[in-house]
A and B are shown apart, each in its own frame.
Chain A
Amino acid sequence: MDRQLILHKPFTELLAEMPFAGDFFESQGLQIPTVSVKDFIDNLTDTQLEDMGIEPAEFLNNFFTFLEAVGSMTERTSVISSLTITGGINKKGEDEDFELEIKAGEIICIVGPTGSGKSRLLADIEWMAMGDTPTKRRIKINGADPDKSWRFSPEHKPVAQLSQNMNFVMDLTAREFVKIHAESRFVQNPDEKVEIIIEKANELAGEKFDGDTPVTSLSGGQSRALMIADTAFLSKSPIVLIDEIENAGIDRKKALDLLVGEEKIVLMSTHDPILALMGDKRLVIKNGGVAKIIETSAKERQNLEQLQELDKKLLELRNRVRTGDILEEI
């Protein structure tokens, strides 16, 4: 990126090449320049300079960093085919002694009592641990050490985390909300993506909702459905960490299929037998360390079908309660 060239170019020309350049000025509470950036800065009065809240040199440095960051974001395509976790130590200082390679499209479940260290394992992955966290675990991407700069730039991090909490505080409709999210990720054709996400979310949700519903009025199940569809289609992060999908009001099998269908690596902390058996493997956490790795057996898979039948039955009953049915015959 030629900084001098950008500095002297009329802003309208710059905008034609980099439509997002205006966002930076807007975010600083400034008018979008009509002249070159250099002239714009030179023409600011002392009061305007003070209101800017940052020295001009720093302002320009931030502007260029912003252009570079967004530029690299729109170029990046996800090429993560594997994630490797190398064991460290547990809370007692004992070796975990394992190495696990997870391939794109695989689901790994993390099980263990509350406080056993499930969240720490998710945190190690999110932080791209390199033997420098309390557990001394190491994470490798495609067999190599990950880029350290990922740690501090959320928009470049290849990891998306779906937390248990799916509350919203923004005062927007579902459609507007997803659109803002798409724009913040500089996604191409945001409107098209938004419609896909609303549609897919409705396939997951027990109760349908309209794109014009305010996000703050969505039910727990609808919010979860919206966030899972959003993660599947909007997030470029090829690794998805899930802290439990609560079972109310959402089709969990479809939800996982949706995520894995986009060739993502899914790690999910859960207590739910259905979700646990849907995983290819499950890591058992004890005393802050991985104590065992269980591969889901054929027998277990068979039981999964039974469990899903039970689950379906419950879901039907739930819908009948909702519609005012009498449950004498079940």
Chain B
Amino acid sequence: MRFVTVSGPPSSGKTAVILKTVESLRQRGLKAGVVKFDCLYTDDDKLYEQKGIPVKKGLSGALCPDHYFVSNVSESFEWGKKQGVDILISESAGLCNRCSPHIKEILAVCVIDNLSGINTPKKIGPMLKSADVVVITKGDIVSQAEREVFASRVATVNPTASIMHVNGITGQGAFELSTLFGDEKTETDTLDGKSLRFSMPSALCSYCLGEKRIGSKYQMGNVRKMDVDNG
């Protein structure tokens, strides 16, 4: 089975892009399934179901969604194998922009939209910097020039990635994207033993353990302080 991680800021159009891409894959005779990771709530699994796409959803609740993702990705992979799909796609929202869901030797896609502002590429960490493919959406809403400026900023932040424009509504570009998903070189048996491309956001302080009180004396573990006195 081939595995693809798709991630991106909330509302960037991940689900729409995946839906259109899966449709294109189907036309080429490839069956795809989706594992949807979200934080508190999602209805997107129903959108996949309506299209007859095998889907599994996971909600991280109070946990860091990224940590939840990596703790469950291997089991999700096994689920995908049981569904008999050719390609399994994981969809996860990068909620703090420091997310790092991409796995070595597994196709990594980051979805980012033109409306998020030209400085956004700079603000996104490993999710964008270590992606193999960057999909830019909502290009139909802005002018050609603005699209080019945005794409060039993305290319500066991640010069090795393939950059593509996909329209999640009409599906323009989804066929082209599907040709990358179908690459047989990414065929894998298991995710066990594989490694993340970059460490996940570190979180090990008293607040991770449920501390609510504010003040230095309650802070333990991995704590970083702002320099408020200088500059």
Q: Which of these binds chain A: B39-47, B63-71, B145-153? A: B145-153
**How many residues on B have C-beta within 8 angstroms of the other chain's C-beta atoms?**
49
Interface membership of chain B positions 109-124, coded 1 if the CB is closer than 8 angstroms to chain A and 0 otherwise: 0000011011001110
Closest to A178 in B: B145
Taking a contact as CB atoms under 8 Å apart, the answer to whether B156 and A23 are in contact is yes
| Residues on A with beta carbons closer than 8 Å to the beta carbon of B207 | none
Instruction: Tell me, yes or no, whether A142 is within 8 Å of chain B by CB.
Output: no
Which chain A residues lie closer than 8 Å to B159 at the CB level?
Answer: 24, 62-63, 65-66, 69
- A223 / chain B contacts, CB cutoff of 8 Å: 143
Contact B122 A27 (CB under 8 A): yes
User: Which of B129, B157, B165, B224 lies in contact with A154, CB distance below 8 A?
Assistant: B165
CA A155 to CA B160, docked complex, whole Å: 13
Q: Does B73 contact A (CB under 8 A)?
A: no
Which of B1-9, B52-60, B83-91, B170-178 participates in binding chain A?
A: B170-178
> A127 an interface residue at 8 Å Cβ cutoff?
yes
A123-B172, A163-B139, A169-B115 as given contacts; A28 in contact with B163, CB under 8 Å: no
Q: Is the CB of B142 within 8 A of A184?
A: no
CB proximity of A267 to chain B, nearest CB, Å: 14
Complex contact A53–B125 (CB within 8 A): yes
Partner of A184, one of B122, B148, B165: B148
Q: Which residues of A contact B155 (CB under 8 A)?
A: 66, 69, 153-155
- Indicate if A35 sits at the interface (CB-CB under 8 A): no
Interface residues in chain A, defined as those with a beta carbon under 8 Å from any beta carbon in chain B:
23-24, 27-29, 47, 50, 53-55, 58, 61-63, 65-66, 69, 119, 123, 127, 132-134, 151-155, 160-170, 177-178, 180-181, 184-185, 223, 227, 230-231, 234-235
Which 10 pairs across A and B sit closest by C-beta, in order of nearness?
Answer: A152-B162, A53-B125, A184-B152, A66-B159, A65-B159, A27-B156, A154-B151, A54-B129, A53-B126, A181-B145
| A–B complex contacts, Cβ < 8 Å, 28 sampled | A23-B156, A27-B157, A47-B224, A54-B130, A55-B197, A58-B197, A65-B160, A123-B172, A127-B176, A134-B175, A151-B176, A152-B133, A152-B162, A160-B148, A163-B144, A165-B140, A165-B141, A165-B142, A167-B143, A168-B146, A169-B146, A178-B145, A184-B152, A184-B153, A185-B148, A185-B152, A231-B144, A231-B145
The chain B residues found within 8 Å of chain A, CB to CB, are: 27, 98, 100, 114-115, 117-118, 121-123, 125-126, 129-130, 133, 139-146, 148-149, 151-153, 155-160, 162-165, 170, 172-173, 175-176, 179, 197-199, 202, 224
